[in-house]
Amino acid sequence: MKFIDNDQRPMGHGRMLRKEDPRFVRGKGLFVDDVQLPGMLHLAILRAPVAHGRLVSIDVTVAEAHPKVKLVVTGAMLAQRKLAWMPTLSHDVQAVLVTDKVRFQGQEVAFVVAEDRYAARDALELIDVVYEPLPVVVDARAALDDGAPVIRDDLAGRTDNRIFDWETGNRAATDAVFAAADVVVRQDMVYPRVHPAPLETCAAVADHDAVDGALTLWCTTQAPHAHRTLYALIAGLPEHQIRVISPDIGGGFGNKVPIYPGYVCAIVASMLTGRPVKWAEDRSENLTSTCFARDYRMRGEIAATRDGRIRAIRTDVLADHGAFNGVAAPSRYPAGFFGVFTGSYDIEAAYASMTAVYTNKAPGGIAYACSFRITEAVYLIERLVDCLAHELDMDPVELRLKNLLRPDQFPYTTTTGWTYDSGDYEATLREALRIADYAGLRREQAEKRARGELMGIGVSCFTEAVGAGPRKDMDIAGLAMSDGAELQVHPTGTAVLRVSCQSQGQGHETTFAQIVAEQIGIAPADIKVVHGDTEHTPFGLGTYGSRSTSVSGAAAVVAARKVRDKAMLIASAMLEISVTDLVWDAGRIHVVGDPNSSVTIQDVARWAYGSGELPEGVDGGLAAQVHYDPSSLTYPNGAYICVVDVDPGTAVVTVRRFIAVDDCGTRINPMIIEGQVHRGLTDGVGMALMEMIAFDDDGNCLGASLMDYLLPSALEVPDWETGFTVTPSPHHPIGAKGVGESATVGSPPAVVNAVLDALRPYGLRHIDMPLTPSRVWEAISSTGLRE
């Protein structure tokens, strides 16, 4: 067990224990379900048992007669108020409650509001609903069949289940390179449907004041400001009357980006009853009805020269978006940032085409540390590179080294139009090879193979794209993706930073205090970070796509620098000397060449609010506010090496070692970065080996509990070995890039590549995730090489 050295108490960036943890480890956090208001009622949702079925009748009279029930609401009642449907984040609509037909199992059909949670749940049983079952579409390919049942017949003119066709890259140029290539490898692969599965499920407490018309909503949201605007649009409430509070959040992982029907139901219930109403879903509701992730079927092709120079990549994707297109991606990016599928390599031509379809499954998509579909893009290219290595009988590391982008190529614009800001990919990979002792591992593997043991070494190199986005390119639901920060220094020299991002466990209260501390020399302990309350924070689009450090963090830096500039001016009055004769030195301002003639930032703060004279044109107080529009995304990268053992008798995969080297530019708090990476690596092992939301042919969700939807625990993962390189982002004010999703993005292909490497003696090139013992066993058996 290693202990964290916290004695340094950094004045800025550095290893520092999290300020929020004393609250969490003592059980003093405040989560939405902890909110108790006088007279609060409880809401429970009736969910559809069928995946596709017309609503024939619904009888709520018995439920309404329950002594503790205050209100029962159906889709028809919402329709009267024009609230039965709500917009999604991607130009679609989603039913708040079913009015016409059920489109996925677990869909919201009606809700009950009662005096307590138990009564509300009990009364659900008293609602009598008759459904007329309809043929179910579970398979994305079947969704495109002629004569497939049309799931979204609510949309005018709809005759099929196609949501969109999308393409990127140059098709003709790519086809030409393929036609002339020495070697072409094709591999079909599925990135299965998985779920973010945060510890805390989704919840809301709505409190509508009928007298003054104000609505306060405590809610599990990663984007309180964007949600406030959308509620104003959905419910027709004036935006200044809405306050969204996102208190402590027990994990988001993308699950808490969308607006769910439950939130809207809670608001409606509070308006109708005149009392506060709480809705908190249970685990099964979370797993079956909230935003899933992935669900991509990809056909990948890679073209190369015989000596292993990658020339082109081509892919065709079938994307399953479920019953409503609830994807949270910037408007102009229906496939998120999948366009970065050329990965970390210098590739001359690339082309991707994609068709997205509706199926009778839960809506949403892209959530779960997805970086807007970069998870899928990285998996595609990193698996293809290994398939190519297999075909060329080349070492996968050697093949990657031959093709990685070189430092002198940055800024590098991919053939699909993404401009990577900076990186030294070879240095990152070499650092991983060093930590792993790659040559030693290959020797060990050879010895083991000779003894019939199955050991595998898997590599993946990835490029992330985070920090959405420049406002000219990116918006969600018409809201540009920029973020605010307000920094207020108090007369006694402490400070409050208000930000529009929203921590769900990432430690913003610590790292954002460190960001400001580094700039203005006030200790992080003396800087309070306020977030997650629209009444007390500036407008901004919130936390997802690992954008907080890149966007809100930049806003905080710029605000702090404004404060510093003003402090310099005030110091010039205090020291009676021109500002050009002053130097800033970590919280102290002194006269050039005379360090003893100085004032501290605390002295300046007191002066700024006091009666001392201020320079001409400078007003009192010490504060600044900023709205930051990033000029571009930041592009973190990493190189991962996974070592597995596969039991030849049971096909059980054990991840024995995992080496992760990440480059997220300037590192603010290395301890928090490591925590983020550990978490993401665990995600990756989970997705590669055990996680999948499966459905039967009737559309029944087979992963509705954590008994069936497996999550990795400490038992399934090794002691992570992490390393880093640092190539600062040239356009971020402190050179920081995001890191929150890097490990989730980069690790699944490393694990899968390792397993396939172990299975090399069987000649296998690919198995689809999750690589459960039964899947691996079947694959081995299918080769006929097992006795």
Using CB under 6 A as the criterion, which residues of the chain lie in contact with ligand CUN when the complex forms? 222, 252-254, 257, 366-370, 544-545, 741
Quick one: 329 or 591, whose CB is closer to ligand CUN? 329
Contact 427, 401 (CB under 8 A): no
Residue 257 interacting partner from ligand CUN, ligand MCN, none (CB closer than 5 to 8 Å by kind): ligand CUN
End-to-end CA distance of the chain: 43
Query: Please, what's the b/e burial string for 153-183 (b: 16 or more CB within 10 A of its CB; e: otherwise)?
Result: eeeeeeebbebeebebbbeeebeebbeebeb
Minimum separation from the CB atom of position 557 to ligand MCN (A): 12
Residue 507 interacting partner from ligand CUN, ligand MCN, none (CB closer than 5 to 8 Å by kind): ligand MCN
Minimum separation from the CB atom of position 744 to ligand MCN (A): 7
Contact 304, 182 (CB under 8 A): yes
Q: What part of residues 325-384 is at the interface with ligand MCN (CB under 6 A)?
A: 369
672 binds ligand MCN per the rule CB under 6 A: yes
C-alpha–C-alpha distance, residues 208 and 243, integer Å: 10
322 binds ligand MCN per the rule CB under 6 A: no
Question: Can you tell me which of 500, 511, 637, 729 binds ligand MCN, judged by CB under 6 A?
Answer: 511
Residues in the chain: 787
Residue 506 interacting partner from ligand MCN, ligand CUN, none (CB closer than 5 to 8 Å by kind): ligand MCN
Q: If we measure between CA atoms, which residue out of 188, 546, 550 comes closest to residue 337?
A: 546
Minimum separation from the CB atom of position 114 to ligand CUN (A): 33
Residue 111 burial by CB count (10 A; 0-12/13-18/19+): exposed, middle or buried? buried
Contact 194, 294 (CB under 8 A): yes
Quick one: 359 or 676, whose CB is closer to ligand MCN? 676
DSSP letter at 339 equals G
Residue 366 interacting partner from ligand MCN, ligand CUN, none (CB closer than 5 to 8 Å by kind): ligand CUN
Q: Which stretch binds ligand MCN (CB under 6 A): 55-63, 78-86, 672-680, 757-765?
A: 672-680
Contact 506, 544 (CB under 8 A): no
Minimum separation from the CB atom of position 19 to ligand MCN (A): 11
Minimum separation from the CB atom of position 468 to ligand CUN (A): 9
746 binds ligand MCN per the rule CB under 6 A: no
Residue 452 burial by CB count (10 A; 0-12/13-18/19+): exposed, middle or buried? exposed
545 binds ligand MCN per the rule CB under 6 A: yes
Q: Which stretch binds ligand MCN (CB under 6 A): 414-422, 610-618, 658-666, 774-782?
A: 658-666
Quick one: 350 or 369, whose CB is closer to ligand CUN? 369
Q: Which stretch binds ligand MCN (CB under 6 A): 301-309, 500-508, 530-538, 651-659?
A: 500-508
741 binds ligand MCN per the rule CB under 6 A: yes
Residues in CB range of 566: below 8 A, 6 or more apart: 608, 618, 622, 624
Question: Can you tell me which of 738, 746, 748, 749 binds ligand MCN, judged by CB under 6 A?
Answer: 738
Residue 668 interacting partner from ligand MCN, ligand CUN, none (CB closer than 5 to 8 Å by kind): ligand MCN
Residue 493 interacting partner from ligand MCN, ligand CUN, none (CB closer than 5 to 8 Å by kind): none
Pairing of strands 242-245, 215-219: parallel
Interface size with ligand MCN, residues (CB under 6 A): 35
Minimum separation from the CB atom of position 539 to ligand MCN (A): 17
C-alpha–C-alpha distance, residues 354 and 337, integer Å: 13
Secondary structure element (H or E) that encloses residue 554, with its range: helix 553-574
Which CA distances in Å does 659 have to 430, 460, 640, 689?
12, 11, 6, 17
Minimum separation from the CB atom of position 735 to ligand MCN (A): 8
Minimum separation from the CB atom of position 433 to ligand CUN (A): 30
Amino acid (1-letter code) at residue 492 = T
How far, rounded to the nearest angstrom, does the alpha carbon of residue 214 sit from its chain's CA centroid? Answer: 31
C-alpha–C-alpha distance, residues 143 and 135, integer Å: 11
Q: Which stretch binds ligand MCN (CB under 6 A): 226-234, 391-399, 649-657, 661-669?
A: 661-669
Quick one: 227 or 657, whose CB is closer to ligand MCN? 227
C-alpha–C-alpha distance, residues 474 and 466, integer Å: 12
Ramachandran angles phi, psi of 568, nearest 5°: -65, -45
Q: If we measure between CA atoms, which residue out of 379, 331, 582, 626 comes closest to residue 477?
A: 331
Minimum separation from the CB atom of position 10 to ligand CUN (A): 27
Question: Can you tell me which of 194, 203, 736, 758 binds ligand MCN, judged by CB under 6 A?
Answer: 736
Quick one: 741 or 757, whose CB is closer to ligand CUN? 741
Question: Can you tell me which of 359, 416, 460, 504 binds ligand MCN, judged by CB under 6 A?
Answer: 504
506 binds ligand MCN per the rule CB under 6 A: yes
| HEC sequence for 576-630 | CCCHHHEEEECCEEEECCEEEEEEEHHHHHHHHHCCCCCCCCCCCCEEEEEEECC
667 binds ligand MCN per the rule CB under 6 A: yes
Residues in CB range of 332: below 8 A, 6 or more apart: 473, 474, 475
505 binds ligand MCN per the rule CB under 6 A: yes
Quick one: 155 or 706, whose CB is closer to ligand MCN? 706
207 binds ligand MCN per the rule CB under 6 A: no
Q: If we measure between CA atoms, which residue out of 500, 546, 513 comes closest to residue 370?
A: 546
Question: Can you tell me which of 75, 276, 665, 733 binds ligand MCN, judged by CB under 6 A?
Answer: 665
529 binds ligand MCN per the rule CB under 6 A: no
Minimum separation from the CB atom of position 196 to ligand MCN (A): 7
Q: What part of residues 216-255 is at the interface with ligand MCN (CB under 6 A)?
A: 251-254
Question: Can you tell me which of 669, 725, 729, 772 binds ligand MCN, judged by CB under 6 A?
Answer: 669
DSSP letter at 768 equals P
Residue 660 interacting partner from ligand CUN, ligand MCN, none (CB closer than 5 to 8 Å by kind): none
Minimum separation from the CB atom of position 224 to ligand CUN (A): 14
Residue 665 interacting partner from ligand CUN, ligand MCN, none (CB closer than 5 to 8 Å by kind): ligand MCN
C-alpha–C-alpha distance, residues 199 and 283, integer Å: 9
Quick one: 347 or 466, whose CB is closer to ligand CUN? 466
Minimum separation from the CB atom of position 664 to ligand MCN (A): 4
C-alpha–C-alpha distance, residues 687 and 678, integer Å: 14
Q: Where are the alpha helices (DSSP H) in 636-722?
A: 670-689
Contact 506, 676 (CB under 8 A): yes
Contact 219, 260 (CB under 8 A): no
Question: Can you tell me which of 88, 500, 543, 772 binds ligand MCN, judged by CB under 6 A?
Answer: 543
460 binds ligand MCN per the rule CB under 6 A: no
Minimum separation from the CB atom of position 660 to ligand MCN (A): 15
546 binds ligand MCN per the rule CB under 6 A: yes
C-alpha–C-alpha distance, residues 166 and 19, integer Å: 45
Ramachandran angles phi, psi of 649, nearest 5°: -85, -30
Residue 505 interacting partner from ligand MCN, ligand CUN, none (CB closer than 5 to 8 Å by kind): ligand MCN
Residues that bind ligand MCN (CB under 6 A): 198, 251-254, 369, 504-508, 511, 543-549, 664-669, 672-673, 676, 679, 736-741
